[in-house]
Structure 1
Amino acid sequence: MSQLKSLYDELQRAFYSRPSDLKKCGTLLAQLKIGLIEAGLLLPQGDLNLTDLAVARDILEIGAFWSIRTRDVPSFDRYFSQLQTFYTDYASSLPPSKREFPIRGLNLIRLLTQNRIADFHTTLESLPLPADAIADNPYISHPVNLERWLMEGSYSKVWNAREEAPAEEYKFFVDSLMGTIRNEIASCEEAAYESLPLKDAATLLFFTNQSELLKFAQERGWQVNLSASTITFARKGEEKIEIPKQKLIAASLAYARELEQIV
């Protein structure tokens, strides 16, 4: 435990430095997780020293935030899964963690970015928080509002929510949501228009500068005319669907004969 304590102190210094030393944090977290496994604290069971449990929880919480800052969502999933034991089985034994609801909120937004709406609602209902207290918790109300706006199609509110994020890490997932939203809007534009002025396309797609729009247009295969300041959308060939006329007529006649017999 003395070696773990030394590594833990080093992790805190690296994480709380401005800016955070993310590379060093990653190295220290890997060493600390091995130490937690050897000490029986990564997946704790039974009666353990509460101070050691609190330190283990803190290490995993730092790991969860580190994962988001390094844009490693699978790593965040693993840290969140490991934290569930601390948040549920030892909730009555350990003092509350100030990071618990920020991490739970991040998990809710992660489910939204993966379009796992059913899991989102199941997770929301299982939170250790009364329904009437959700609006007062900024870390939970933020993803709840995002989900409602997505269902309403109020994409401008989702975009504005980025600046209202209760923690910097939330912006990563909001940006992921905006990527999904942009692709949906782009598909609608391709179906509805042959071309659009660059300025209008940028507004519809929530781009703040032209270079971002041009990069997106290139990815979608759109033709950009900078001199005319227009975008021409790539038109997909219309699919020809062959209607089985003879089969439909035969089925209709057979259905009519059966009706006559019933009558």
Structure 2
Amino acid sequence: MSDLKTLYESLQRAFYAQPPDLNTASGLLSKLKIGLIESGLLLPHGDVNFGDLVVARDILEIGALTSIRSKNIPSFDRYFSQLQTFYTDYAAQLPPSKREYPIRGLNLIRLLTQNRIADFHTTLESLPAEIISENPFIRHPVNLERWLMEGSYSKVWNAREEAPAEEYKIFIDSLMGTIRNEIASCEERAYESLPLKDAVTLLFFTNQSDLLTFAQERGWQIDLSAGLVRFAQKGEEKMEIPKQKLIAASLLYARELEQIV
């Protein structure tokens, strides 16, 4: 336990440093998790020291946040799973953690970015109603999900600046990447070309250079002299709609209905 205490203190120094030393923190977390396993604190059961449990919970929470800041989503997923024992089984015995709902909110946004809407709602239903309506860390992903379902993408974009914690912005950036690809697919079908300034606005870019990089990835042609982005043609045959035949058939159908009446 003395070794664990020394490692824990080093982890805190690395995590709270300005800027945080994520590489050092990640290395220390690997050693600390081994120590927690050997001490029976990673998956606690039976009679345990509640002070040790608070420390173990804090280590795992730092691990979850370090994973997000390092953009290691699978690692965050593992830490969140391990924290469930502390957040549920020992909720009554341990003092509340100020990081619990920020981490729960991050998990909800993670489910949104992975399009796991059913899991999102199942997870949300496990929380008290007053937490869902009043806690800013939970209310934020709830709003995001509603705006996504409505197609209010501009509100999702604006929500980045209203995020209750910096870690939330990483997931919102990922959401915007998915949204941009959806909008881009619609643009390719609806238009042959668009003015560059309109494409920047529609795709929620803040400058033209980001659009140029995105366009290159999708195989679009950029005509800087004309100020246009031209979409790659899919080689699909255009179907000519027989307007005259459709009109004649509709009139004939209408006359037959009148005769029946």
Amino acid at match of 2:156: V
Q: Distance in 2 between matches of 1:83 and 1:226?
A: 52
2:259 maps to which residue? none
In the TM superposition, what is the alpha-carbon distance from 1:211 to its structure 2 partner? 1.0
SS of structure 2 residue aligned to 1:169: helix
Q: Distance in 2 between matches of 1:2 and 1:51?
A: 14
Amino acid at match of 1:10: S
1:215 maps to which residue? 213
Structure 1: stretches of 5+ with no match in the other structure: 241-263
SS of structure 2 residue aligned to 1:18: coil
Q: Distance in 2 between matches of 1:210 and 1:47?
A: 61
Q: Distance in 2 between matches of 1:120 and 1:86?
A: 20
Percent of matched pairs sharing the same residue: 79
Deviates further, 107-116 or 39-48: 39-48
1:9 pairs with 2:38: no
1:148 maps to which residue? 146
In the TM superposition, what is the alpha-carbon distance from 1:239 to its structure 2 partner? 7.1
In the TM superposition, what is the alpha-carbon distance from 1:238 to its structure 2 partner? 2.2
What is the 5 A alignment of 1:66-145?
A: 66-127=66-127, 129=128, 131-145=129-143
1:46-79 Cα shifts (integer Å, max 9, x gaps): 1200010000000000000000000000000000
What is the 5 A alignment of 1:151-190?
A: 151-190=149-188
In the TM superposition, what is the alpha-carbon distance from 1:217 to its structure 2 partner? 0.1
1:202 maps to which residue? 200
1:63 pairs with 2:63: yes
Q: Distance in 1 between matches of 2:26 and 2:109?
A: 23
Amino acid at match of 2:172: V
2:23 maps to which residue? 23
In the TM superposition, what is the alpha-carbon distance from 1:228 to its structure 2 partner? 1.2
Q: Distance in 1 between matches of 2:153 and 2:222?
A: 25
1:188-230 Cα shifts (integer Å, max 9, x gaps): 0000000001000000000001111000000000000111111
Q: Distance in 2 between matches of 1:12 and 1:77?
A: 21
Query: Which aligned runs of 4 or more in structure 1 are off by greater than 3 angstroms?
Result: none
TM-score normalized by the length of structure 1: 0.89
Amino acid at match of 1:88: T
Structure 2: stretches of 5+ with no match in the other structure: 239-261
Tell me: CA distance 1:239–1:69, structure 2 relative to 1, closer, same or farther (3 Å).
Answer: farther
TM-score normalized by the length of structure 2: 0.90
SS of structure 1 residue aligned to 2:166: coil
